[in-house]
Every structure is written in structure tokens, then in C-alpha cells.
Amino acid sequence: MSGKPVLHYPNTRGRMESVRWLLAAAGVEFEEKFLEKKEDLQKLQSDGFLLFQQVPMVEIDGMKLVQTRAILNYIAGKYNLYGKDVKERALIDMYVEGMADLYELIMMNVVQPADKKEEHLANALDKATNRYFPVFEKILNHGHDFLVGNKLSRADVSLLETILVVEERKPDALAKFPLLQSFKARISNIPNIKKFLQPGSQRKPPLQEKDIPSLMAIFH
């Protein structure tokens, strides 16, 4: 038994990707058990491993953690990526929740009905460039390398992840944000993160249309 965290989820980004990012950034090796068909999910459910019958689920430190935010909070706290006090934590939480909203919008685009997809994406990208990125560009005006407390935190990991996901849909998304551009380069060069960004890592590719049916079959 390795003692490494074990991630239970399909072989896709979905709601588990931010967990993979955070563990990787923390330099924590982890294993993955992929759900490939409905029976895999049902087995986890009937074994009583999923508190609310849902994944993501992460086996870590003798617990079977569920609920993405609970998992992320635990990892961030354990590996000192959650600020040094309640006020830093408050800032980190605000930033991370904002980015989660944006990420969710982008993630949900692929399951929109065909006639709504383009408009939905346009709205998501508009929010990225007019609501969310300006906030983080402004924060980085403090001249430090990291968003909060002059130290790497989950907020920085989350921001990099979000930037890359937006750029996949709009390559010039950072055109008006010079500080975010240098932030992106800087954080991408942190050794653990650099490693995660290389081919062969446990980072997952964007969801393809052709993969949606088999994913839906697991959950419905």
C-alpha cells in the first residue's frame, strides 16, 4: 500500500481536474482509478464509498473525501497553500470561488444544446475578459509574484488553471492583461507545475464531443 491519495473519477477533467492541479502543485504523487462504465460507479455506491453517491471521491489520510470543495480545502490546508491566517484565507476563498464560477461556465459549454452553444461560449469569454481577468490583473498591481501573502497559494494554482482553460477557447484572452501574462509564465515555471504541464503528466485534455456519450452513460 502506497499511502498516496487515490482519485476516483472518469478519465476526464470534469470536477476532478482542479484536485489534480492542486496535488501536482503541492508535489504530491497520486493514483487514479478511472470510472469507465456505469457498473464502476455503481460498485463504489454499493460499497458505501461515496457519501452522497457521487464522485469526485479522493481516498486520503484514511478518509474517503467527497465534494470537490471539501477535497480542495483539505489538500490546500494540509500542504500550506491556504494562506497564513483567516484574512488571507478569506481573500483566497473569494478569488478561488470567482474562478470556480468562470471555470464552471466554460466547462458547461460542451453540454449546451447545439443552437445555444455559440452564444453561451461568447458569454463565458466575455465574463472572463470583462469580469474576472480585470480583477486579478488589478490585484497583481501589488507587485508581488503571487496573489495573496507574497507566497504560492491555491489561488495562484487556480488562476493559472483557469487562464489556460480560457486560452484553449480564445488564445488571445490575455492580450490586454500584461501582469497576467507574466503571472502565467512565472507560475508555469514553478518546477511541480512545469512538470504537470508537460506531456505524460496526469493532466487531462479538454473534453471532446465524441467522448460525451460514454461519459453520460456512466452517470445516467
CA distance 152 to 4: 23
CB of 110 to another protein, least distance (A): 22
CB of 168 to another protein, least distance (A): 22
The answer to whether 17 touches 204, Cβ cutoff 8 Å, is yes
CB of 78 to another protein, least distance (A): 6
CB of 77 to another protein, least distance (A): 5
Q: Which is nearer to another protein, 139 or 193 (CB)?
A: 139
Q: Which is nearer to another protein, 52 or 208 (CB)?
A: 52
CA distance 119 to 124: 9
Q: Which is nearer to another protein, 96 or 163 (CB)?
A: 96
Look up residue 203 and give its three cell numbers. Answer: 493532466
CB of 82 to another protein, least distance (A): 10
Cis check: omega of the bond before 213, within 30 degrees of 0: no
Kindly list the residues in this chain that would bind another protein in the complex (CB under 8 A).
51-53, 61, 63, 65-70, 73-74, 77-78, 86-87, 89-90, 93-94, 96-98, 101, 131-132, 135
Q: Which is nearer to another protein, 37 or 69 (CB)?
A: 69
Q: Which is nearer to another protein, 180 or 190 (CB)?
A: 180
Tell me the CA distances in angstroms from 53 to 17, 25, 28, 179, one per residue in order.
19, 28, 26, 42
Look up residue 195 and give its three cell numbers. Answer: 512538470
Per DSSP, the three-state class of 150 is: coil
CA distance 87 to 145: 19
